[in-house]
């Protein structure tokens, strides 16, 4: 079940704790109480070993510490995980080691130690460059602290990205223009610019927070794309912008249909046709790893059709789109078993998808409507 040839092979480590729970967040994260970090380190390393035994001969192109807030992990543990990965797999010489960090000063104080431990790329959760918005988003840092962390990170890590959230209720185009313009003065190589979505099960969901209407949301997206493209940071994915060559290699593996191993509570992985999910609950995961060496809750064999649909769904998030012929063949299917040609013709006519031979791309009009595009495209 071959993916794109340059899809890579990723390793993901999930750290499920944060200082507090942000009101918009539906990730598998919870406020950290007293955490026995050595115990957690032993469990993460044990699960890493379990997956190393299952993937002999694979060459990791990336390792990603996500969460939660993995900058709450002691730097020695990050270093131990990087060291163990290098001992268990033959990593690509230019592999990428990313860590997500909050920009508060406590975490920033550990940047050098993370770098010394092997982290090559930092992803900083700034989320806003406006103190009122940061308070509303429940973030513990302010703009000054965020900017200080950014400046420091720039001197420490070879590669750096930061996140901002737009489409906040009441946010005007002019306000977002100013905020994004300020962000672009920091000369980033990579930016993740997310539209605020209100999810069930979050504090914002319970409060009935309303995102901007469709027209305003679309105008904010168009402005974002125009401003980033103008400074050489085009969207290479729905929410991600980079200078050519500075794309997040780990996330490219997901979008290009590659394989990856997921370690830690709630992590997901894909190994060929195997869709693997670890227990979401940290205590359940920890107990399972300590008993049987891994915390896998489910392992499902994907049908060729499901795998192909997943790859179309992920691949159309990329500006480069997908090679539908190669994608179908990689799943052992004919193109007609993956996409509906009449649906495709209608999408092209509506200007939501464009095709160039076998290569299909969602257009700027199609990206905000990706769910509907997929519903019409997939058989």
What is the binding site for ligand SF4 (CB under 6 A)?
18, 21-22, 25, 27, 29, 67-69, 102, 125
* The two three-digit tokens of residue 306, written as one number: 């499901």
β-sheet with 159-166: strand ranges across:
235-237, 240-242, 190-195, 159-166, 121-127, 96-101, 62-67, 9-15, 259-263, 268-271, 274-278, 296-301
Closest separation between CB of residue 205 and ligand SF4, Å?
14
Q: Which is nearer to ligand SF4, 60 or 67 (CB)?
A: 67
Q: Which is nearer to ligand SF4, 22 or 227 (CB)?
A: 22
Q: Are 161 and 189 in contact (CB under 8 A)?
A: yes
Q: What whole-number distance in Å separates Cα of residue 193 and Cα of residue 165?
A: 6
CB atoms within 10 A of CB 107: 22
Closest separation between CB of residue 343 and ligand SF4, Å?
36
Q: Which is nearer to ligand SF4, 107 or 259 (CB)?
A: 107
Closest separation between CB of residue 127 and ligand SF4, Å?
8
Closest separation between CB of residue 219 and ligand SF4, Å?
25
Quote the distance between the C-alpha of residue 210 and its chain's center.
24
Q: Which is nearer to ligand SF4, 67 or 266 (CB)?
A: 67
Q: Which is nearer to ligand SF4, 22 or 233 (CB)?
A: 22
Q: Which is nearer to ligand SF4, 153 or 327 (CB)?
A: 153
Q: Which is nearer to ligand SF4, 129 or 373 (CB)?
A: 129
Q: Which is nearer to ligand SF4, 70 or 212 (CB)?
A: 70
Q: What whole-number distance in Å separates Cα of residue 242 and Cα of residue 119?
A: 19
Cα–Cα nearest to 154, from 199, 121, 196, 130:
121
Closest separation between CB of residue 65 and ligand SF4, Å?
12
Q: Which is nearer to ligand SF4, 120 or 202 (CB)?
A: 202
Closest separation between CB of residue 27 and ligand SF4, Å?
4
Angle in degrees, 0-180, between the axes of helices 37-54 and 75-88, rounded to the nearest 10: 20
Closest separation between CB of residue 29 and ligand SF4, Å?
4
Closest separation between CB of residue 31 and ligand SF4, Å?
8
Closest separation between CB of residue 22 and ligand SF4, Å?
3
């Amino acid at each position: 079940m071959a993916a794109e040839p340059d899809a890579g092979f990723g390793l993901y480590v999930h750290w499920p704790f944060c200082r507090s729970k942000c009101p918009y967040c539906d990730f598998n994260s919870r406020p950290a109480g007293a955490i026995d970090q050595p115990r957690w380190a032993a469990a993460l390393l044990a699960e890493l070993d379990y997956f190393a035994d299952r993937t002999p001969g694979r060459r990791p192109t990336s390792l990603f510490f996500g969460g939660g807030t993995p900058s709450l992990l002691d730097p020695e543990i990050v270093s131990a995980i990087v060291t163990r990965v290098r001992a268990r797999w033959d990593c690509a010489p230019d592999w990428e080691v990313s860590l997500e960090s909050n920009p508060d000063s406590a975490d920033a104080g550990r940047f050098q130690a993370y770098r010394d431990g092997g982290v090559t790329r930092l992803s900083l959760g700034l989320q806003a460059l406006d103190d009122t918005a940061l308070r509303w988003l429940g973030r513990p840092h302010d703009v000054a602290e965020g900017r200080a962390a950014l400046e420091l990170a720039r001197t420490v890590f070879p590669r750096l990205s930061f996140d901002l959230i737009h489409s906040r209720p009441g946010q005007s185009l002019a306000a977002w223009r100013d905020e994004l313009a300020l962000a672009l003065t920091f000369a980033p190589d990579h930016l993740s610019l997310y539209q605020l979505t209100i999810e069930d099960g979050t504090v914002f969901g319970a409060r009935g927070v309303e995102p901007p209407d469709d027209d305003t949301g679309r105008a904010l997206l168009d402005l974002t794309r125009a401003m980033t493209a103008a400074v050489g940071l085009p969207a290479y994915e729905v929410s991600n912008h980079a200078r050519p060559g500075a794309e997040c290699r780990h996330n490219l593996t997901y979008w290009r249909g590659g394989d990856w191993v997921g370690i830690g509570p709630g992590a997901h992985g894909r190994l060929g046709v195997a869709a693997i999910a670890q227990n979401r609950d940290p205590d359940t995961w920890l107990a399972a790893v300590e008993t049987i060496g891994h915390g896998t809750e489910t392992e499902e064999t994907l049908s060729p059709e499901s795998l192909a649909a997943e790859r179309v769904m992920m691949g159309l998030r990329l500006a480069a789109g997908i090679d539908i012929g190669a994608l179908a063949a990689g799943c052992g299917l004919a193109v007609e078993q993956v996409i509906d040609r009449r649906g495709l013709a209608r999408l092209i006519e509506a200007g939501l998808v464009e095709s160039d031979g076998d290569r299909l791309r969602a257009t700027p009009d199609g990206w905000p409507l990706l769910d509907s595009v997929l519903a019409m495209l997939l058989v």
